[in-house]
Amino acid sequence: MQTAVGLIGLGLMGKPMALNLLRAGFVVTVWNRTRTRADEVLRAGAQWAESPREVAAESDVVVTIVSDPPALEQVLWGERGVLAGLRPGSVLVDSSTVSPALARRAAEACASRGADFLDAPVTGGTWGAEKGELVFMVGGQAEVLQRVESVLAAMGRRWFLLGPHGAGQTVKLAMNAILALQVQALAEALALVAAAGIPAERLLEVLASSMARAPVLDIKGPLMLQRNFAPSFPLRLMHKDLSLALELAGQLGLPLPATAAARETYSAAKGLVRGGDVDYCAVVRFWENAAAAAERPPEPARGA
Ligand code: NA7
């Protein structure tokens, strides 16, 4: 019998993932908080469900990919949430990036309903989601992973089983800390050469031939120079992940000084966002803002 797959959360990542599940021939049932965001996947052949509970009731495998811990709690435990409809023997795969502790809580809730759980956050951004080339970082049991491999294969190219529940989220938070720090380091170095009057392009040119080169910088460097901040991975979500990494480190009693500094920078850059979403490479605005502030003449002193 064909596996029925449910997908909850049709944001930047979830929508292309749903389209790839449909292309692979799965029967797909979807729900999204804002219904209009489902239009394209419904036109492509997905079925709409009126609630996360109904998605779960229709599905052998349920994939959730929502913004943050409160969103996942709402979708799982909320009124008409996934847990109220989950079938015994089914598998819930959570691809949102949340805390390892929340992943473990979700796993326990699934087990109490006779269902299995995997934390399976992804890396690859919207590009990877569209191409079906995501990489899944998985926490849970090998036997459960085996049962959902065909579903993951429709959306991604690799998956790594990293340990028990929560291990996928732990590695994802560590991964994103690296990406945030690399992009921040480039933004800072660009500010340094620009302040010294050297064209920023020259730094990218040399970087491409140096050991400091990194795939993420090959992509984000030119976008920063073009000021193309169309979100592949939104800055607000990178800020959330840095906060989650620091929360985890706090629980483990581990100092993460570079990550803590990056969280401050991303936090300030998030404060500069007006209107729609921007990609996390817009962290470069932090230094532009600082440079502009340095150029402004000092305010005249007020009062006596
Ligand atoms: P997006 O594009 O911000 O999409 C977030 C999704 O989460 C979207 O479907 C939202 O529904 C949904 N959402 C947000 N809050 C809620 C609540 N409270 N209840 C139900 N659904 C909610 O994020 P991405 O697709 O880029 O990323 C998703 C995850 O992958 C995230 O954890 C990243 O860090 C990695 P909406 O359409 O706004 O109604």
Euclidean distance between CA atoms 57 and 97, whole angstroms: 24
- Report pLDDT digits (tens) over 135-169: 999 999 999 999 999 999 999 999 999 999 999 99
State the average pLDDT over residues 50-67.
Answer: 98
Q: Does the structure show a pLDDT above 90 at 212?
A: yes
pLDDT at 275: 87
The reported pLDDT for the residue numbered 294 is 75
Task: State if residue 67 touches ligand 1 by the CB under 6 angstroms criterion.
Answer: yes
Rounded to an integer, what distance in angstroms lies between the CA atom of residue 132 and that of residue 159? 12
Return d(Cα 197, Cα 35) in angstroms, integer: 50
pLDDT digits (tens, 9 = 90+) for 81-140: 999 999 999 999 999 999 999 999 999 999 999 999 999 999 999 999 999 999 999 999
Q: How confident is the model over 198-218, as a mean pLDDT?
A: 96
Give, using CA atoms, the residue closest to atom 16 of ligand 1: 71
CA pair distance 251, 255, nearest whole angstrom: 10
pLDDT at 291: 76
Residues 201-214 as b or e (16 or more Cβ within 10 Å = b):
eebbeebeeeeeeb
Measured by CA distance, the residue closest to atom 19 of ligand 1 is 71
Q: What is the band of 302 on the pLDDT scale with cuts at 50, 70, 90? A: low
Residue 236 pLDDT: 97
C-alpha 162 chain-centroid distance: 18
The number of the ligand 1 atom at minimal distance from the alpha carbon of 95 is 30
Q: What pLDDT does 290 receive? A: 80
Ordered structural domains, the chain, with CATH: 4-164 (3.40.50.720), 170-295 (1.10.1040.10)
pLDDT of residue 228: 96
Distance (angstroms) between ligand 1 centre and the Cα of 117 equals 20
Q: Out of 7, 64, 67, give the residue to mutate to test ligand 1, the one with the largest number of ligand atoms within 8 Å of its CB.
A: 67
For residue 295, pLDDT over 80 is answered with no
The mean of the pLDDT values for the chain is 96
Residue 33: CB within 6 Å of ligand 1?
yes
183 CA to centre of ligand 1 in angstroms? 23
> If you measure from the C-alpha of residue 189 to the centroid of ligand 1, how many angstroms do you get, rounded to a whole number?
32
Q: Is the CB of 128 under 6 A from ligand 1?
A: no
Q: Is 2 in the pocket of ligand 1 (CB under 6 A)?
A: no
pLDDT (average), residues 170-182? 98
Q: Closest ligand 1 atom to the C-alpha of 176?
A: 34
Q: Separation of 121 CA from ligand 1 center, angstroms?
A: 13
C-alpha–C-alpha distance, residues 193 and 38, integer Å: 45
Whether 32 lines ligand 1, by a CB cut-off of 6 Å, is yes
Residue 122: Cβ within 10 Å count: 23
Ligand 1 mean position, distance from CA 33 (Å): 9
Would you call 172 a catalytic residue per the annotation?
yes
Report how far ligand 1's centroid is from the alpha carbon of 14 (Å): 8
Q: Counting atoms of ligand 1 from 1, which one is nearest the CA of 234?
A: 26
What are the pLDDT digits (tens) for 227-259?
Answer: 999 999 999 999 999 999 999 999 999 999 999
Instruction: Indicate whether residue 63 lines ligand 1 (CB < 6 A).
Output: no
**Six token digits for residue 284:** 């470069």
Which of 15, 131, 172, 270 is the catalytic position? Answer: 172
Atom of ligand 1 nearest to the CA of 9: 9
Instruction: Tell me how far apart the alpha carbons of residues 168 and 148 are, in angstroms, rounded to a whole number.
Output: 15
Rounded percentage of the chain residues whose pLDDT exceeds 90: 93
Nearest atom (ligand 1) to Cα of 70: 18
Segment 34-42 mean pLDDT: 98
